[in-house]
Structure 1
């Protein structure tokens, strides 16, 4: 269906909000291992019978991205909601998806713009002003240009920061670079962290403090393939592929994990990034590791070395935890800690304590998540 529906409408409501992204720059900080990159504003913008209009412009000057949350009643089943940003990039959402989201409402994908045009159209692309009720009740407004400023306030860097852009290891550590493709940047409710594909099935892992048991993964989005193009200092970035979260499967606050799915209709678009698999055997100190991550919400990084130039290792285990000196920062929460020899995940990173980083061991998490994998087999 063509999305040039503006030709059917001669006037639009323009919401120009007195808001500046620069005023919020100091809020880009690590908070509980997450990094805040957006403010979430409650709104009450109505389309359809409640307002006799089918098109609005959302304008938040200097915002780095916008993400729109909607609730709907009685949208035409063959209609669409069309979002167009200032760069003329278009996001088309079937009206049925918004209706089927139910009382929870529906989050559109983020758009890298400070201006978004929203319109409700029928199957012929004509703007609809009557016969339905649609409400924009929240807008996430980005204030941190993380693609250009990856050096955010750090958390859990041990000594000097030894993390490198993932692409810097494409030749020297090809297996680590390849496996890092399964690791994505996750965003929701104003914060960024890290999540990753666990198996050939539609299964994702992150921390419980990233997606809690009371939260809906469909309110989150995951970016795969978001990384720098070159190893040098230029800012050229591959935007990657954005997909919506799907369903929550099982989570635990004590072991700080959340197993969830991606949106089933979009899952095929990220299969090519692969998955990691798990090592659920006994974990002893000394094992050589690496950590792919989206620290600070920035393009993907890899941590392979410590300050002395030696390889990162598991330094100690205590209770359900393993500790190590590989560098992470705020936003690295949910990263996989991967064994260098097996290239499988052995720890789910979640925090720092003193002069060490730590996460819960996969062999402690596995009994809780095993029922959600085919035949209960380790991926």
Structure 2
């Protein structure tokens, strides 16, 4: 009999029945509420049995009316030569994983989110497998309509990337390095920094107590055309990897994407941002690519006057600016319009402006995690 590989993953539950950890919120009352887009439901669904040649068992997880589902497994037992396929209601297979993909996480395994209200799980194998399998789904993220919290200043001046492309190709290319974050029912924004496997977001998006592997990052999620149609590009979903260093006071988290997915080149075409660690003066023009409200990417580059949005004031480590954001924009890069390097990590709104921590106050802590301690430059 073929040797099987057993992975037993035990998920830690909260003491409060029916609830699960959500994204940590910093104490600063100016921080916008993260946008919640899903309920986290407990589940006790077991999918187990025996595999045999020509037999490929399957089961369905459904939540009628859901906009998307994401499954969390507390136990995964997949024999050698077998794998799991997850398909949407149309039968399109959107994820495959086996024992090597799951690894041995301490808190279970989150599969990718899948749009729609039903997921079909099928155990596939190489055709010669006689072995037992067992999976336990202990919770399901059930998507619903987004709840947005606005930090728009006056009228909303944000634009679709396709509109930006028509007038500023460099701004468009740099904006591609920005990804939509989803985890534990909430959405936010993160971005790739430097040529290495490095990502930045806020600490109140991914806290030091959390595992980036439980989050997913959606690159290239944007409207396909400048106006008219609301059709979006397919984009690329990537799993998080490891936390490197974070700080609640300066509200940043540096982490990686999943090493195998990064090495596969899935995100290479989206490029990466560089940093500028010199002081940013008042009046300097900037722009902010973001996933406000968890929506397809928007770019804020103008204020209500029609001029480029810019640095409006300086308060300690914070830089305040006139670019529009909303809940879900947390973790976005504030980018220098001239050098196209990130200068500020956006995190909040206050008194008619938006604000974030200057990169120069974050850089000393994250510097050891970049090759030769050199400030990273952006892709072309």
TM-score, normalised to structure 2's length?
0.85
Give the aligned partner of residue 138 of structure 2. 137
Whether the aligned pair in 2 keeps the contact of 1:33 and 1:332 (CA below 8 Å) is no
Q: Quick check: 1:93 aligned with 2:97?
A: yes
Give the aligned partner of residue 122 of structure 1. 125
Aligned-pair CA distance for 1:125: 8.5
Residues 298-340 of structure 1, C-alpha deviation per residue, up to 9 Å, x if partnerless? 1111101111111111111111110011000110000000001
Q: Which of 284, 288, 293 is residue 291 of structure 1 equivalent to? A: 288
Whether the aligned pair in 1 keeps the contact of 2:33 and 2:149 (CA below 8 Å) is no
- Within a 5 Å distance, the mapping from 1:155-194 to structure 2 comes to 155-194=150-189
Whether the aligned pair in 1 keeps the contact of 2:192 and 2:272 (CA below 8 Å) is yes
Q: Quick check: 1:274 aligned with 2:271?
A: yes
- Is the alpha carbon distance of 1:227 and 1:122 closer, same or farther for their aligned partners in structure 2, counting shifts above 3 Å? same
| Alignment root-mean-square deviation, CA | 2.0
Instruction: In structure 1, list runs of 5 or more residues that go unmatched.
Output: 1-29, 147-151
Give the aligned partner of residue 317 of structure 1. 314
Q: Quick check: 1:107 aligned with 2:102?
A: no
Give the aligned partner of residue 242 of structure 2. 247
Whether the aligned pair in 1 keeps the contact of 2:31 and 2:349 (CA below 8 Å) is no
- Within a 5 Å distance, the mapping from 1:6-45 to structure 2 comes to 32-45=32-45
Give the aligned partner of residue 14 of structure 2. none
Whether the aligned pair in 2 keeps the contact of 1:33 and 1:351 (CA below 8 Å) is no
Q: Which of 195, 205, 209 is residue 204 of structure 2 equivalent to? A: 209
Aligned length: 339
What SS does the aligned partner of 1:369 have?
Answer: helix
Give the aligned partner of residue 335 of structure 2. 338
Give the aligned partner of residue 298 of structure 2. 301
Q: Quick check: 1:61 aligned with 2:84?
A: no
TM-score, normalised to structure 1's length?
0.85
> Distance between the aligned counterparts of 2:128 and 2:165, measured in 1?
45
Whether the aligned pair in 2 keeps the contact of 1:334 and 1:348 (CA below 8 Å) is yes
What SS does the aligned partner of 1:266 have?
Answer: helix
Aligned-pair CA distance for 1:173: 1.6
- Is the alpha carbon distance of 1:250 and 1:227 closer, same or farther for their aligned partners in structure 2, counting shifts above 3 Å? same
Residues 191-228 of structure 1, C-alpha deviation per residue, up to 9 Å, x if partnerless? 11110000100100001111111111011111111111
- Is the alpha carbon distance of 1:118 and 1:175 closer, same or farther for their aligned partners in structure 2, counting shifts above 3 Å? same
Whether the aligned pair in 2 keeps the contact of 1:222 and 1:243 (CA below 8 Å) is yes
> Distance between the aligned counterparts of 1:77 and 1:255, measured in 2?
46
> Distance between the aligned counterparts of 1:210 and 1:180, measured in 2?
20
> Distance between the aligned counterparts of 2:127 and 2:290, measured in 1?
44
Whether the aligned pair in 2 keeps the contact of 1:207 and 1:350 (CA below 8 Å) is yes
> Distance between the aligned counterparts of 1:140 and 1:323, measured in 2?
35
> Distance between the aligned counterparts of 1:215 and 1:46, measured in 2?
26
Whether the aligned pair in 1 keeps the contact of 2:71 and 2:141 (CA below 8 Å) is yes
> Distance between the aligned counterparts of 1:222 and 1:215, measured in 2?
15
What SS does the aligned partner of 1:227 have?
Answer: coil
Aligned-pair CA distance for 1:34: 1.4
Q: Quick check: 1:238 aligned with 2:233?
A: yes
Aligned-pair CA distance for 1:44: 1.3
Whether the aligned pair in 2 keeps the contact of 1:33 and 1:155 (CA below 8 Å) is no
Give the aligned partner of residue 25 of structure 2. none
Aligned-pair CA distance for 1:89: 1.6
Aligned-pair CA distance for 1:169: 0.9
